[in-house]
Structure 1
């Protein structure tokens, strides 16, 4: 790769294959694409076995892939005018997903596109090269400006056609597209590895806990409900509940909730090894804390006794069988559902010896370590793609 950061030519990317030189050409999206046609205005119906809709929810922005696991068919008059074709780019024109895009692949099969999508057909240039420019910071800055002019975000076909696109020789476009598409395919594969590992972990957790042998205890025999307030302001790090990570620092998930410093005197102290009953019962409602801090006064803090190995129930509390069992002690509707802790404490669990608990934890932690490593690989590749999109385009 050639580094052109010191190049005085205005329309030259910072990073470039060494065999190419000269300025790129600036044009409008509409100059290199035909169509910009709106999709059909029709509702969705159950899949008829042949005709498929492509919807916003079917498009994974992170991996630029189409997911048709929840297939529906268009309910209306079907014409080939609304079929997505090779070299077509679909663009979302209204709503919170405005700006989202998708490049059709032949492997997707026959798809119809809806009224919220605009189709643009790339003519004389590499469609993946053009599509990649719709994932750059420059593009998303443009989307932010264009879609923020009214209460309902939206960009129409004429406005999309005016977006500035840079082009170069077809040889260079093909080479850049090959590199980026190979990297993207690897990211898709990595996503599949991670999802398969998560499914494996879930199955193993269910099996290990459901087949565990030992004594039967009520949760009341294993936990003490504690409501220790932060009266002396000893702690200032606020923790939040996360389904997969347990209790984590609020700052780590970019949540910035303003509050008076004195108000944290009413927050509850969570100590390392405690479990926290939060409000999201559909996620299990119980989060393990591997750190000490404070949390919302609305949460219930459970301190385990010596019968429970450190962290043993953290995986059990997010397992499907446990979440299903909470229906007996959960009240309310939708996300406002709450767990009746006093009733839950009378429910029972089979608890093996601490040695067996440690053995079960070791198995699950090994999978967690593998998941952590695979997530790190994914993050490295994702950052690499972000870097290339920033430096290989103008």
Structure 2
């Protein structure tokens, strides 16, 4: 896929023929702090808010002795989440040695803005191995790339940059909606003084799930019963899932069938994930199924269980151990502010309308991301 005004073959080379791969001098953990100074980026924080710093004096002493990235140059993680690229913004900062490298591009036959998208499109696992845990400098130096004229590079990178800007704007829209919904939820349960009842009175049946022995394929092979894991609790509604168990697996474990329109709540290890199932499911250990009573609006209950009030109450009953767990027997005693059915319905209707808006914005964000991924896969040789 190319812009119609351009023809001809792209130039080909290895990255090392045009660029140098550089890294910062090693910094010891004892030389960092968590309070203030020059940001020190490790593989997990590059491109995000740093959680460590080095002193300005140490930074200045290194700055004039060793090479540093220049504004606009590309940085790439070589361990952990391998291949994450950012464009260096030029602000004073230090980077973890060997795990984060930058591309020194003196000739700029390949523009940094274009090179950023080239490197973002590399399948590092396919290039090296299916279990890659590190990109070595030679992997980068020997990477074969192709590039067009600088004019075409500029147009390609400008288009992709516009899409990135739109994705960033969309992410902000999503974040603001999430903040708005969270703020309204917390306001409702803080400002209004509803009658309180113990949690055990909001449901007709509830219980933790169970995990059939993974060593027995008869419990899983050709299974038809939806089996919910923590990864399935990412959205308000569970409308699809990846894993299934068989009827035998259900019988041979403590898993049970949770009816449609129940609350699915993670109460072990990762505590506090909550969804509503849109079809009957069973759950693994550490995930509760909670079927509300007939006078309880499941949408209202969902929002209450996402509130800060409920999260704080859960923290007070968590049992520490090999795995942090909020047992149902302890959750049952949490006092819940529950209004009458009409009030529940009004609150649920308001919040559900905002959640629907949020879901539409998330869907649009995913479409933008897929559009970018398609262009990346089609525009680079």
Place the TM-score, normalised by the shorter chain, in its bin: 0.7 to 0.9
Judged with a 3 Å threshold, the aligned counterparts in structure 2 of structure 1 residues 92 and 296 are, in CA distance, closer, same or farther, namely closer
Please report how far the alpha carbon of residue 192 of structure 1 lies from its aligned counterpart in structure 2 after TM superposition: 1.5
Q: Which has the higher strand share?
A: 1
Choose the corresponding residue for 1:350, options 315, 337, 341: 337
Choose the corresponding residue for 2:370, options 383, 386, 390: 383
Please report how far the alpha carbon of residue 180 of structure 1 lies from its aligned counterpart in structure 2 after TM superposition: 0.8
C-alpha distance in 1 between matches for 2:208 and 2:358: 35
Judged with a 3 Å threshold, the aligned counterparts in structure 2 of structure 1 residues 87 and 368 are, in CA distance, closer, same or farther, namely same
Judged with a 3 Å threshold, the aligned counterparts in structure 2 of structure 1 residues 213 and 158 are, in CA distance, closer, same or farther, namely same
C-alpha distance in 2 between matches for 1:190 and 1:88: 26
Once the two structures are overlaid, the 10-residue window that deviates more, 292-301 or 233-242, is 233-242
Choose the corresponding residue for 2:89, options 105, 123, 142: 105
Once the two structures are overlaid, the 10-residue window that deviates more, 119-128 or 236-245, is 236-245
Please report how far the alpha carbon of residue 87 of structure 1 lies from its aligned counterpart in structure 2 after TM superposition: 3.6
Query: What is the correspondence of 1:78-117 to structure 2 with a 5 Å cutoff?
Result: 78-80=61-63, 81-94=66-79, 96-106=80-90, 109-115=91-97, 116-117=99-100
Choose the corresponding residue for 2:303, options 309, 315, 329: 315
Please report how far the alpha carbon of residue 236 of structure 1 lies from its aligned counterpart in structure 2 after TM superposition: 1.7
TM-score of the pair, normalised by structure 2: 0.83
Alignment partner, residue 292 of structure 1 = 280
C-alpha distance in 2 between matches for 1:37 and 1:275: 51
Q: CA offsets, 1:273-308, max 9 Å, x none?
A: 323443346542654333222223664433322331
Choose the corresponding residue for 1:210, options 185, 190, 215: 190
Question: Gapped runs of 5+ residues in structure 1?
Answer: 1-14, 60-65
TM-score of the pair, normalised by structure 1: 0.81
Between Structure 1 and Structure 2, how many residues are aligned?
358
Q: Secondary structure at the match of 1:58?
A: coil
C-alpha distance in 2 between matches for 1:228 and 1:58: 36
Please report how far the alpha carbon of residue 173 of structure 1 lies from its aligned counterpart in structure 2 after TM superposition: 0.6
Query: Does the aligned pair in 2 maintain the 1:238–1:295 contact within 8 Å?
Result: yes
Question: Gapped runs of 5+ residues in structure 2?
Answer: 211-218
Alignment partner, residue 372 of structure 1 = 359
Query: Does the aligned pair in 1 maintain the 2:87–2:116 contact within 8 Å?
Result: yes
Judged with a 3 Å threshold, the aligned counterparts in structure 2 of structure 1 residues 185 and 297 are, in CA distance, closer, same or farther, namely closer
**Does residue 174 in structure 1 map to residue 154 in structure 2?**
yes
* Cα root mean square deviation, aligned: 3.0
Alignment partner, residue 214 of structure 2 = none
Q: Secondary structure at the match of 1:301?
A: strand
Query: Does the aligned pair in 2 maintain the 1:273–1:290 contact within 8 Å?
Result: yes
Judged with a 3 Å threshold, the aligned counterparts in structure 2 of structure 1 residues 287 and 182 are, in CA distance, closer, same or farther, namely closer
Judged with a 3 Å threshold, the aligned counterparts in structure 2 of structure 1 residues 247 and 194 are, in CA distance, closer, same or farther, namely closer
Query: What is the correspondence of 1:274-289 to structure 2 with a 5 Å cutoff?
Result: 274-280=262-268, 283-284=271-272, 287-289=275-277
Q: CA offsets, 1:251-277, max 9 Å, x none?
A: 63x4x57x6651123430111232344
Query: Does the aligned pair in 2 maintain the 1:225–1:300 contact within 8 Å?
Result: no
Judged with a 3 Å threshold, the aligned counterparts in structure 2 of structure 1 residues 227 and 340 are, in CA distance, closer, same or farther, namely closer
Judged with a 3 Å threshold, the aligned counterparts in structure 2 of structure 1 residues 159 and 301 are, in CA distance, closer, same or farther, namely closer
Please report how far the alpha carbon of residue 42 of structure 1 lies from its aligned counterpart in structure 2 after TM superposition: 0.7
Q: CA offsets, 1:122-173, max 9 Å, x none?
A: 232211111111122xx21x44442568xx7323223311101111111111
Query: Does the aligned pair in 1 maintain the 2:208–2:283 contact within 8 Å?
Result: no
Q: CA offsets, 1:27-79, max 9 Å, x none?
A: 01012213x122221135236755222332233xxxxxx22364523795642
Q: Secondary structure at the match of 1:237?
A: strand
C-alpha distance in 2 between matches for 1:206 and 1:31: 57
